[in-house]
Amino acid sequence: MKTALVVLAAAASLILTACGSSAEPAAHASAAPSCPAAWQAGWTKLARQIDAPVYCPGWMPNPLDGRIGSQWNGLRTVDKRGGFLVSFIYQETGSGEVHVNFHRWPGTRMPHCRAQTSNRQIPCYSDRAGRVKTHGIEATLYTVSRDADQWHLSYLWRANGATYVVSEHVAPPFSFAQVKRNVTRVLRSLVLVPSQA
């Protein structure tokens, strides 16, 4: 413990003295995202099935891809009202989990989930932690997520009379900070896929 803390002190001192520098690349706010050709068909099919626009990711965290039907695509569920959940997940004992969810709920009300301690319905997302505006999306980041998004950092936004969410599980091998960067990058990479080609 002592050794670890000494190393930690040294590392943190370096961080402290390096304040002002940044490891973040320059923002590419103006670069228009694009949906990779191999991923396009699945999202277009989903949009047509629910008869509502969806968002195709232009980027996904390693090792995931964003192709519905790929080896990483865990869930693809739709409901009769135009809602869906599409998840991509990599999970391996000992090396961690990379898990990204995409949701759509019809309507612009905050989705509700069951509380941990009772049958009470409570907001599925809470504890706002910032906003991001990108390519026509104004999303709010939530640090507390429930149900399918439990343990996730979630961006929620409203568009086309619906509520959309993209989220990523905070779990090794990624740190909280890395997951936040990941899910923000996924958000910035989204491309609107209309229901009518």
Partner 1 sequence: MKLTRKQVLAGAAVGALGAAGAYELVDQLAGASPPRAAAGPLPPEQHVLDGVRTITDNGVEVAVPPLHHQVVTARVRVDAADLPDAARALEDAFADIERRYAPTPAGLGATVAWGLPYFHRFVPAAWHEHAPRDVRALRSALLPARRFDSDPDATILEDNDVAVLLRSDHLEHIAEASKALFEKLDLFEVTSIRKGFAGGGFDGGAGLPKQLAVAAGVPGAELIPDGSELFLGFTSTQSQGLGPRKIVNFETLGYVDLRSGYFHGGTHMHLSHIREQLDTWYQLFDFDDRVDTVFRPGLRVREGTQTVRQDPDDVSTRAQIARGFKTHRIIGHSSAIQTASRLQADHVAGDGTVYRKGTAIPHRADFNTLDNPFFWSARPTVDGMSEQPSAGVHFVVFNPTSDDFERVRNAMDGVFPGGARLKIPPRDAGQGFNSVLETTHRQNFLVPPRRHRSFPLAELL
- Candidates 65-73, 83-91, 158-166, 168-176: pick the segment binding partner 1 (CB under 8 A): 168-176
CA distance 163 to 179: 22
Of 34, 91, 95, 175, the residue at the interface with partner 1 (CB under 8 A) is 175
- Candidates 24-32, 44-52, 169-177, 184-192: pick the segment binding partner 1 (CB under 8 A): 169-177
> What's the closest the beta carbon of residue 90 comes to partner 1, in angstroms?
19
Closest CA to 111 of 147, 70, 71: 147
Q: Answer for the pair 157, 138: CB distance below 8 angstroms, yes or no.
A: yes
49 phi, psi to nearest 5 deg: -65, -40
Cα torsion 118, 119, 122, 124 to 10°: value is 100
Of 19, 177, 196, 197, the residue at the interface with partner 1 (CB under 8 A) is 177
Comparing CB distances to partner 1, the nearer of 162 and 166 is 166
Q: Which of residues 30-49 bind partner 1 (CB under 8 A)?
A: none
Q: Which of residues 124-163 bind partner 1 (CB under 8 A)?
A: 126-127, 129, 143-145, 150-151
> What's the closest the beta carbon of residue 153 comes to partner 1, in angstroms?
9
Binding residues for partner 1, total number by CB under 8 A: 29
Comparing CB distances to partner 1, the nearer of 44 and 184 is 184
> What's the closest the beta carbon of residue 110 comes to partner 1, in angstroms?
12
Asked if 1 interacts with partner 1 (CB under 8 A), we say yes
CA distance 125 to 161: 19
The binding site for partner 1 (CB under 8 A) comprises 1-6, 8-9, 11-13, 15-16, 116-118, 126-127, 129, 143-145, 150-151, 170, 175-177, 180
